[in-house]
Amino acid sequence: MMLMALCKKEGHETRLVVLGRHRLGQVAKSFRPDVIAYSASTGDMGSFKKADEAVRRAFPPSSASVPFRVMGGPHPTFSPEVLHEMELDAICQGDGDDALPELLRRLETGQSVEGIANIQARGAAEPPRRALTQDLDRLPFPARAAFYEAIPYYRSSGLRSFITGRGCPYKCTYCFNHAFNRMFKECGPVLRRRSVDNVLEEIEQVRRDFPPLRLVRFADDTFAHQADDWTREFADKYPRRIGVPFYCLMRSNTLTEETARLLARAGCQAIGMSIESGSEVLRNEVLHRGLTDNQVRNSFALAEQFGIRTYASTMLGIPGGRIEDDFDSLDFVRRMGPTAPIFTICTPYHGTDIWRKCVERGYVDESAPDAGRIGEAGTLRCFTPQERAIQQRACYLGPLYCTSPKWLAPAVMAAIRGPFPRVLARYAGFTYTACSTAIKIFPQAIPRNPMGLLRIGLDSVRHLL
């Protein structure tokens, strides 16, 4: 939506296509775009490749109106080979705020697209890195109308999402941020933030133009790194100007007593705070989270003390671990008592440090395709097929195990250890997780319109499935 706003600012006509909701080939044939721009993350590449195949069928090479196809986002940034795999015209690596408008200007005037910072054209030399966008206040607010035009019934949800800054200083091996920081280390400070007033102005605009606004979600990787001047100003102004409950992401080391107090004062209803593993060794030596068991315990205790609900993500099937570590993680999460836990299976994506380690140790082939979405079975050779099946059931039923009463927990654990029908575990577990998360973490997001509730509810379960 941000890139669309920048394109509109330059005078271009845009159209948003949501994969899974629209047939890209058909939309492209009717809209006849000069450029198709994909924003892709690795877990969704299967959908993007299918959509792109439909575009290529709709516009064969002999066609006079073949669109220029460019892909940006995490996947091409860290897996640039996609440029040739999909025979794209170009990819964008890193920030596209200035790169995409410059690309469009070149295309519009018939100039070569070679040499644009952050834009790698097929067959051209590697481009220079573009300085990281520092003044985020200069950027337009995202073009939200395009999203609600694409999926109208999402207007009925009371949730609206915002981003207050960019960059992450941590070095978690499974995340893209450490790789991004290495790529752009000479391009300016990584941590960047919009002013508090700029953020609040956007929220006020959204409340006015895209009601209802009952819950704000801040999507920054870590919302508050410390109790600094920005956080204090936010805690002072947000309740007065917005006064709507909000959700944000935190880390156990950043949820100190002071930051918890400031968040609670501002109106924080819930936080997402990952545990990732119940094993301190796996959490820190393999994942590089840099969090002790005591820090994790204290952070969840602080959240409870200040009345902040917790949404906790934990990974199973961590390379180098054992199946016993996964059971330990289930029990550790149960003891932490998060409001709504969720489990995933560790997926070492190309370009990350954990992927390199897996290749070095023979857990995965260098040319192996990335695993898919949440809940899909792991493929690492350090686990047997039977262990991977257990991890899958634990991913589905783990949230139920961690929140069930004492009398029910043994039965859920028995189902996880198996044998238990995978399909039944998948549908029952993910339906429970979607409903539990909605009711406990995002209740104001639930549409009050019955039809909107039904459609968004089905979308939530479908996303997990």
pLDDT in tens, 56-93: 999 988 777 899 999 999 999 999 999 999 999 999 99
What is the DSSP code string of 208-230?
Answer: HHS----EEEE--SSS-SSS-HH
- Token look-up 């109208």 returns 152
Q: What is the mean pLDDT of residues 256-278?
A: 98
Confidence of residue 340 (pLDDT cuts 50, 70, 90): very high
Of 104-108, 138-142, 208-212, 452-456, where does mean pLDDT reach its minimum? 452-456
Percent of the chain surpassing pLDDT 90: 84
Question: 54 — alpha (psi -120 to 50), left (phi > 0) or beta?
Answer: alpha
Q: Cα-flanking dihedrals φ and ψ of residue 87, to 5°? A: 50, 45
The pLDDT, as a whole number, for residue 226 is 94
**Would you say 242 and 200 are in contact if contact means Cβ atoms under 8 Å apart?**
yes
**Sheet architecture: strand order including 309-316:** 159-162, 215-218, 246-250, 268-273, 309-316, 340-345
**Sheet architecture: strand order including 90-92:** 35-39, 68-72, 90-92, 119-121
The pLDDT, as a whole number, for residue 367 is 79
User: Between the CA of residue 324 and those of 90, 273, 318, 363, 417, what are the distances in Å?
Assistant: 45, 23, 11, 18, 11
Quote the CA–CA distance of 445 and 448 in Å, as a whole number.
9
The pLDDT, as a whole number, for residue 459 is 76
**Would you say 224 and 259 are in contact if contact means Cβ atoms under 8 Å apart?**
yes
Quote the CA–CA distance of 250 and 275 in Å, as a whole number.
11
Confidence of residue 463 (pLDDT cuts 50, 70, 90): low
What is the DSSP code string of 251-285?
Answer: -TTT--HHHHHHHHHHTEEEEEE--B-S-HHIIII
Question: 222 — alpha (psi -120 to 50), left (phi > 0) or beta?
Answer: beta
Tokens coding 197: 């007033």
- Token look-up 């950027």 returns 139
Quote the CA–CA distance of 35 and 68 in Å, as a whole number.
5
**Would you say 444 and 160 are in contact if contact means Cβ atoms under 8 Å apart?**
no
Of 42-46, 109-113, 164-168, 234-238, where does mean pLDDT reach its minimum? 42-46
Q: What is the mean pLDDT of residues 256-266?
A: 98
Confidence of residue 323 (pLDDT cuts 50, 70, 90): very high
Containing 161, the helix (H) or strand (E) segment is strand 159-162
Give strand ranges (E) for 346-451. Answer: none
Q: Cα-flanking dihedrals φ and ψ of residue 377, to 5°? A: -60, 145
Average predicted confidence (pLDDT) for the chain: 93
b/e per residue 229-255 (b: at least 16 CB within 10 A)? ebbeebbeebeeebebbbbbbbbbbbb
Query: What's the pTM?
Result: 0.93
**Would you say 283 and 239 are in contact if contact means Cβ atoms under 8 Å apart?**
no
Cβ-based burial of 77 (10 A; exposed 0-12, middle 13-18, buried ≥19)? buried
Number of continuous H segments (helices) and E segments (strands) in the chain: 19, 12
**Would you say 324 and 331 are in contact if contact means Cβ atoms under 8 Å apart?**
no
What is the DSSP code string of 365-391?
Answer: -TTPPPP-STTPPP--TTS-HHHHHHH
What's the one-letter identity of residue 21? R
Q: What is the mean pLDDT of residues 112-131?
A: 95
Q: Of all residues in the chain, what percent are helix, strand and coil, respectively (each to 5)?
A: 45, 10, 40
Give which of 79, 80, 18, 75 is closest to 51, Cα–Cα: 18
Give which of 163, 152, 142 is closest to 459, Cα–Cα: 152
For residue 425, pLDDT over 70 is answered with: yes
Domains annotated for the chain, with CATH where assigned, are: 2-121 (3.40.50.280), 151-464 (3.80.30.20)
**Beta-carbon contacts of residue 107 (< 8 Å; ≥ 6 apart):** 34, 35, 68, 113
Tokens coding 180: 């991004």
The pLDDT, as a whole number, for residue 464 is 58
Confidence of residue 144 (pLDDT cuts 50, 70, 90): very high
Quote the CA–CA distance of 58 and 28 in Å, as a whole number.
8
The pLDDT, as a whole number, for residue 74 is 92
Confidence of residue 368 (pLDDT cuts 50, 70, 90): confident
For residue 370, pLDDT over 90 is answered with: no
> In 3-state terms, what secondary structure has residue 177?
helix
For residue 393, pLDDT over 60 is answered with: yes
